[in-house]
Chain A
Amino acid sequence: MIMKYLIISKINEVLEQTDRSEQYEDIEDSAILLQIGLDSLGFAILIALLEEELDSDPFQLMDEPVYPTTFGEFLSIYEKYSV
């Protein structure tokens, strides 16, 4: 749960940084990642900011490469790789 809200707060930070008007209090697991207001650059920044916060980048630790399409998939990657 904590991870979910950390990610949402970082998503809000990136949205602001990339001049988007959206801000979220909650995001449903089924939400399509590329439709929440972040483009590739936004996602790249999100992953970098999360790495700053968590000291790890699960995308570089994964043994089975996965590119998430929904928020739920994105979250579960972070929950799996961040202890």
Chain B
Amino acid sequence: MSNPLVDIFSQVPSERVYIQNEIESLTYGDIKCSITQFSEDYAYLAGKNCALVAHSRFEIAKFLPLIASVANKVFLQPKCLKEEVQNEFYGKSNIEYVINVTRSSIYTTKVSDISHLQEVEQEWLLSTSGTTGTPKLVSYNITSLMKTSKKDVTKGSHFRWGLCYDLNRFAGLQVYLQAIASGSPLTITESSDELPDSVKLFVDNNVTCISATPSFWRKVLMTKGSERLELKRITLGGEISDQTVLSSLKKHYERSHIVHIYASTEAGVGFSVKDGLEGFPADFVGPSKLSSVELKIADSILWIKSDRAASAILNGSITIDDDGFVNTGDIVEIKHGRILFIGRDSGAINVGGNKVIPEEIEAVLNSHPRVIQSQVFGKKNAVLGMLVSAEVINEKAVELDDQKALKKELITFCKDKLDSFKIPAMIKFVEEIAVNESGKIERKR
């Protein structure tokens, strides 16, 4: 079975750098040799459905082509997946072997014995982050995943990519495929790295293309030494790109092409905006304005339809209307010929790329003995896009001094129970919280 990912390693000149970090550098040729060796050493994985668990992004990049060269399906499993979710995913996707990779070793574990049909094209499975509840398992066809990546190996020698996303998430995988499809080197930073160190690594390796969230870029702009980056391509995605961050990047990196991406996990597709302005042009809406997707707005919600990306969500549900449009859950408004993103229909808050569900935080606040009711919402923020804010009705009116103490107490109370980005940064004491006829809190738009 021919595999477009594996084919790259025989097409790209073997001396070209494939991946690098501060201690290691591997060429396309190195991986080509490893592929041959791997298929001999791990012949029993041929045609099997495999889950890959690795302790670093670098290891994933090192082993993914090897596993892809033999396996039927590849599940890029995130490190910290709850056991019950893991088992559910293994069952749903018929995983037979788990391949664990650490710096020093690789070991495989057989988890099931299922006879299955050989797919014609390799399938890759990714888990959504699940910060908004149960993670979803999404499957992608490798051929269609790679269809959108430019494959110009000659041109690819002029670009050097930097990776600041996890490789087992869609955003990271896209950067990876984009880089290697043209045989460009990819400099890999790890999530545990401090930003000044990552920036230095990118500068030292002459990285020219980076894709990251707006919050990441804001932090880059605040980092000394970032002015030494000589960027040709800047991509922003994962949260709303506001005009401030777009303009600021253009000012700092005058010679770069700046692109911001809108992507919908629900629809499994997205599109890019290249004019340097926030939101996207209103004329993207309507039939065939974009090559790959069709957009419409109904009740201030963006709906998207696409024939691309044979992706399927294997668990969880999505809303599709009769015309095949998927509800993205994104609230938009039209202003001066632009469609701007306002927030999520569910009230979900995006704090620097991390999704926060207000109900989860309200439940924690409400469990405090002095809280009668609470409402959590997002507040616009220049650093992280949004920040969690709360209004609280407490048992009796409190004096100003006591308010400060209670605020502190509530924050401490939340600390034990919630991730730091979910803890309300601001808490206001109010007498009333608006609810609708069914008694539910009216989510602010």
Contacts and interface: CB of A to CB of B under 8 A. Distances in A.
Nearest to A60: B382
B209 to A, nearest CB: 21
B218 A40 contact: yes
A48 B218 contact: no
B215 A40 contact: yes
Contact of B352 (A18, A33, A41, A67): A41
Nearest to B196: A34
B441 interface: no
Contacts of A52: 426
A34 B415 contact: no
A49 interface: yes
A48 B195 CA distance: 23
Contacts of A59: 244, 382-383
Contacts of B221: 67
Contact of B415 (A19, A65, A68): A19
B379 interface: yes
B244 A47 contact: no
Interface in B422-440: 425-426
Interface in A28-64: 32-34, 40-41, 43-45, 47-49, 52, 57, 59-60, 62, 64
A47 B218 CA distance: 14
B382 A34 contact: no
B248 A34 contact: no
A69 interface: yes
Contact of B381 (A33, A44, A67): A44
A59 B380 CA distance: 11
B219 interface: yes
Interface of A (DSSP majority class): helix
11 contacts: A34-B196, A34-B219, A34-B223, A40-B352, A41-B421, A47-B381, A48-B387, A59-B383, A60-B244, A67-B248, A69-B224
B33 interface: no
A34 B196 CA distance: 9
Given A60-B380, A65-B245, A65-B247, A18 B420 contact: yes
A66 B248 contact: yes
Interface size class of B (residues with CB under 8 A): 20 to 34
Contacts of B224: 32, 69
B305 to A, nearest CB: 35
Interface in B170-229: 195-196, 215, 218-219, 221-224
Contacts of B411: 17
Nearest to B216: A40
Contact of A69 (B223, B251, B389, B415): B223
Interface string B157-173: 00000000000000000
Contacts of A64: 251
B258 interface: no
Contacts of A47: 381-383
A49 B428 CA distance: 12
A44 B425 contact: yes
Contacts of A41: 351-352, 384, 420-421
Contacts of A44: 351-352, 381-384, 387, 425
B384 A33 contact: no
Contact of B244 (A17, A18, A62): A62
A33 B426 contact: no
Interface string A13-30: 000011100000000000
A68 B352 CA distance: 18
Contacts of A67: 218, 221-222, 248
A62 B244 CA distance: 9
Nearest to B380: A60
B380 A40 contact: no
Closest A-B pairs by Cβ, 7 of them: A59-B382, A67-B221, A65-B248, A44-B383, A44-B384, A65-B244, A45-B425
Contacts of A17: 411, 425
Contacts of B245: 65
Given A40-B384, A67-B222, 8 more contacts: A33-B222, A34-B195, A34-B219, A40-B215, A40-B218, A40-B219, A62-B244, A65-B251
Given A18-B420, A45-B387, A48-B381, A68 B222 contact: yes
Contact of B383 (A43, A62, A66): A43
- Counting chain B CB atoms within 10 Å of each CB, which of A33, A48, A62, A69 scores highest? A48
